């Protein structure tokens, strides 16, 4: 009696089985992204919008007194009225100008110092101790000294914002350069790359993620520095708007100023997210998204 063995599957059978089951295994991220969009239809804006809706409903129901927190529609109405009479526009422009100047100065100092310290031990010995000290000093603690040194004019406000923006950029960029994989550096040197080529093709691209982290923190620090700076002898700006509204007990305008600061922080985060998608396309996590 002969024993019959099952014939191996033909190539056509293997192709059919692969075509049947591969889509489920190969593209699980597509399903997850679809479910994520259903749960978070507006992405990172979903939670803030839900909070605003709940806030509005609670205000209309009388659960939140107006003197404590005006309804979002009342805050928006106050902003529209200030824009119509020509007050909100100049205040917003002044604040953006201060934040932009301070951020540009702070990023320049932080990037130059971070690159020099990351690429050489001489730069590390020169800058690292100073920036580690600055990292522990709050902005409000250094404000009185800046007033003594530079007065209460615009220079103090810009320098305070620059101080807040430079420190996180330096710390993150320095750490990113030093943490580039040594195997990549050795591989480039083995291929005959000189120092300049290693820096341009390995160190700087490898430190880009850390640079973007530092940029995110620097943008946030510039907004915080702007809040602190505009509390000092400001006659125009969002901080001046808040102080004036506090004097006349105009709670809706106080909240309006806070909303503007919050919007600036959210816009800064979106700028960094866009840069990440442009500069980090080589990373698998961004290719899959």
Mean pLDDT of 205-223: 88
Q: Which of 62, 102, 83 is nearest to 223 (CA)?
A: 102
pLDDT at 251 exceeding the cut of 80: yes
Q: What percent of the chain has a predicted confidence (pLDDT) above 70? A: 81
Tell me, yes or no, whether 205 lies in a domain.
Answer: yes
- Say if 196 falls within a structural domain: yes
Is 158 within the bounds of a domain? yes
Return the axis-axis angle of helices 88-119 and 238-247, rounded to nearest 10°. Answer: 130
Task: Determine the pLDDT at residue 20.
Answer: 43
pLDDT greater at residue 81 or residue 140: 81
76 located within any domain: no
CATH assignment at residue 256: 1.10.3720.10
Q: What is the pTM of this model?
A: 0.75
pLDDT tens per residue, range 225-241: 888 888 777 788 888 88
- At 153-204, the pLDDT tens digits run 888 889 999 999 999 999 999 998 888 877 777 777 777 766 677 777 777 7
Task: List the single range of 20-24, 49-53, 130-134 with lowest mean pLDDT.
Answer: 20-24
Closest CA to 236 of 94, 60, 55, 58: 94
Residue 22 domain-assigned (yes or no):
no
Could you tell me which residues come within 8 angstroms of residue 95 by beta carbon, excluding any fewer than 6 positions away?
Answer: 226, 230, 237, 238, 239, 260, 264
pLDDT digits (tens, 9 = 90+) for 37-46: 556 666 777 8
How many CB atoms sit inside 10 A of residue 184's CB? Answer: 15
DSSP 24: H
16 domain-assigned: no
> Can you count the helices (H) and strands (E) in the chain?
15, 0
3-state helix, strand and coil shares in percent for the chain, rounded to the nearest 5: 80, 0, 20
Average pLDDT over residues 64-90: 90
User: Is 63 among the domain residues?
Assistant: no
| Pair of tokens at residue 38 | 């259903």
Q: Structural domain tally of the chain?
A: 1
Average pLDDT over residues 206-235: 86
Give the range among 127-136, 146-155, 272-281 with minimum mean pLDDT: 272-281
Q: Note whether residue 26 is domain-resident.
A: no
Residue numbers of the domain that contains 195: 93-288
Nearest 5°: the CA angle 82, 86, 88 is: 50
Q: Which of helix, strand or coil describes residue 74?
A: helix
pLDDT at 254 over 60: yes
């Amino acid at each position: 009696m002969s024993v019959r063995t099952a014939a191996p599957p033909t190539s056509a059978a293997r192709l059919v089985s692969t075509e049947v089951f591969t889509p489920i295994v190969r593209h699980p991220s597509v399903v997850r992204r679809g479910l994520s969009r259903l749960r978070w239809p507006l992405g990172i804006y979903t939670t803030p919008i839900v909070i605003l809706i709940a806030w509005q409903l609670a205000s209309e129901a009388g659960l939140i007194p107006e003197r404590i927190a005006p309804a979002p529609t009342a805050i928006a109405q106050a902003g529209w009225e200030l824009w119509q009479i020509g007050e909100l526009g100049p205040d917003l422009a002044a604040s953006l100008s201060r934040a932009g100047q301070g951020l540009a100065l702070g990023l320049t100092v932080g990037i130059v110092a971070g690159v020099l310290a990351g690429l050489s031990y001489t730069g590390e010995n020169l800058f690292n101790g100073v920036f580690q000290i600055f990292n522990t000093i709050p902005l409000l603690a250094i404000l009185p000294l800046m007033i003594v040194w530079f007065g209460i004019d615009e220079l103090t406000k810009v320098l305070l914002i620059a101080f807040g923006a430079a420190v996180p950029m330096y710390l993150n960029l320095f750490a990113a350069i030093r943490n580039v994989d040594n195997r990549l550096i050795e591989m480039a040197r083995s291929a005959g790359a000189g120092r300049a080529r290693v820096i341009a093709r390995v160190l700087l691209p490898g430190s880009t993620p850390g640079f973007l982290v530092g940029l995110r923190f620097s943008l946030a620090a510039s907004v915080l520095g702007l809040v602190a700076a505009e509390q000092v002898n400001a006659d125009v700006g969002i901080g001046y708007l808040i102080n004036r509204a506090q004097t006349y007990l105009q709670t809706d305008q106080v909240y309006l100023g806070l909303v503007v600061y919050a919007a600036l922080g959210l816009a800064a985060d979106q700028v960094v997210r866009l840069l990440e998608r442009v500069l980090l396309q080589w990373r698998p996590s961004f290719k899959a998204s």
